[in-house]
């Protein structure tokens, strides 16, 4: 299978602190890869290095190369002349806390769709409906699209964020602990959604939970102190003993 994201020799510094050291990573079409590790191990930084979100923080420095497939062509994310906006459009991102924009549900779609894809009114409605159906939120919100997005429950807001990312027709999904702020039931629904979505999108996710990783992942990468210390395939994850040993060793 062809590789969607390819990370080579990636190092990231915040100020003088080296957060990631010499990371190599590759993941392919149809694959759901989960990054786990103790807090401070650099897993979120690695995720954000793919769409260059680290650059929104002060004093960050990146070395190495990330190659990402944009519209079927492999492009260098950090190459000179690379368009950051296009890169971030290609990578649909969902954050730990549901980050709905402080406007109506409809505008959460219309603002990015109009600005990023220049869609007109009719296309926009169709695109929004399709995305909201994808995340099984359409029936709950179709009668109140003008309501404040923040009036939805936490789980609904997070599904709205998934839908918003999907509406932009991403090439890959980047999920930064998408269930960390949700309760048990909402977490289950999001996990089901992720498993369904991986049929259509390659997904790179950060998780805080080893249990979650073993439930949904095709591949698990364990990070510790800025390095990838272990990579496990799905088969290894089905063995409770190995998962337990992993937990003992790293958490």
Partner 1 sequence: MRRVAEILLVITSWVSSLGVVAVVVALVAFLVYRSASVLDLQLFFGDVAWPDAVFGGARVLHGIWPAIAGTLILIAASSAVAIPLGIAAGVFISEYASGRFRATITFLVDVLAGTPSIIMGLFGFSMILLLRQTIAPDAGTGLLVAAVCLALLVLPYMIRATQNALEGLPAEMRLLGASMGMSHSQSVLRILIPAASRGILSGAVLSLGRAAEDTAVIMLTGAVATAGGRGPQSLTDKFEALPFKIFVIAAEHNTAEELSVGFASALVLLVLTASLFSLTFILQRSLERLWKA
Partner 2 sequence: MYVVLGTAAAIAVAAVLGMFAFLAYFALPLFTADGFARMIDWTWRPADGSFGILPMVVGSLGLSALAMAVAFPVAVAVCAFAFGIGPRQPARIVMTIVNLMTGIPTIVYAFAAAIILPPLLRAGFEGGTGFSLLGAALVLAVLVLPTIVLVIDSNWQGLMAATRHTTAALGMNPTQHVLGVMIPASRAGLLAAFVLGFGRALGDTMVALMLSGNVPLVPESPIDSVRALTAHISLVMSLEVGGPGYQSAFAAGFILLLTTSAISIAVRNMGRRGSSGA
Applying CB under 8 A, the residues found at the interface with partner 1 are: 114-115, 118
Binding positions for partner 2, 138-167, rule CB under 8 A: 148, 164-165
Residue 198: name its binding partner from partner 2, partner 1, none (Cβ under 5 to 8 Å by kind). Answer: none
How many residues line the site for partner 2 (CB under 8 A)?
A: 26
**How many CB atoms neighbour CB 35 within 10 A?**
26
Position among 82, 116, 180, 229 found at the interface with partner 2 (CB under 8 A)? 116
Token pair 């399709």 is found at 130
Greatest CA span in the chain, whole angstroms?
A: 54
Nearer to partner 1, 115 or 150 (CB): 115
Q: Which of 9, 38, 79, 102 binds partner 2 (CB under 8 A)?
A: 102
Q: Taking the CA of residue 49 as centre, how many other CA atoms within 13 Å lie in the half-sphere pointing to its CB?
A: 31
Q: Which of residues 41-70 bind partner 2 (CB under 8 A)?
A: 51, 53, 56
Minimum distance of partner 2 from residue 103's CB (angstroms): 6
Tokens of 169: 């027709």
Beta-carbon contacts of residue 242 (< 8 Å; ≥ 6 apart) = 232, 236
Nearer to partner 2, 87 or 237 (CB): 87
- DSSP secondary structure string for all residues of 27-65: EETT-EEEEE-STTSSHHHHHHHHTTGGGGSTTEEEEEE
Taking the C-alpha atoms of residue 239 and residue 193, their distance in angstroms, rounded to an integer, is 24
Which partner, partner 2, partner 1, none, binds residue 111 by CB below 5 to 8 Å per kind? partner 2
Binding site for partner 2 (CB under 8 A): 51, 53, 56, 85-91, 93, 95, 99, 101-103, 107, 111-112, 114-116, 148, 164-165, 168
């Amino acid at each position: 299978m062809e590789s969607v994201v390819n990370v080579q020799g990636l190092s990231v510094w915040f100020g003088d602190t080296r957060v990631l050291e010499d990371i190599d990573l590759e993941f392919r079409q149809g694959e759901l890869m989960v990054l786990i590790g103790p807090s401070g191990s650099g897993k979120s930084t690695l995720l954000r290095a793919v769409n260059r979100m680290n650059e929104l923080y002060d004093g960050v420095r990146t070395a190495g190369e990330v190659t990402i497939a944009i519209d079927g062509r492999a492009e260098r994310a950090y190459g000179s002349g690379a368009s950051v906006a296009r890169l971030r459009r290609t990578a649909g991102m969902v954050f730990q806390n549901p980050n709905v924009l402080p406007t109506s549900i409809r505008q959460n779609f219309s603002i990015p769709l109009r600005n990023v894809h220049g869609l007109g009114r009719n296309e926009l409605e169709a695109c929004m409906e399709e995305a909201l159906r994808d995340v099984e939120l359409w029936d709950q919100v179709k009668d109140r699209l003008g309501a404040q997005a923040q009036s939805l429950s936490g789980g609904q807001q997070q599904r709205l964020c998934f839908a918003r990312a999907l509406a932009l027709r991403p090439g890959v999904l980047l999920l930064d602990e998408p269930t960390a702020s949700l309760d048990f039931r909402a977490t289950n629904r999001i996990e089901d959604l992720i498993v369904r979505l991986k049929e259509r999108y390659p997904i790179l996710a950060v998780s805080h939970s080893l249990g979650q990783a073993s439930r949904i992942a095709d591949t698990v990468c364990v990070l510790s102190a800025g390095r990838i210390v272990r990579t496990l395939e799905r088969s290894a994850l089905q063995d409770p003993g190995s998962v337990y040993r992993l937990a003992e060793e790293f958490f």
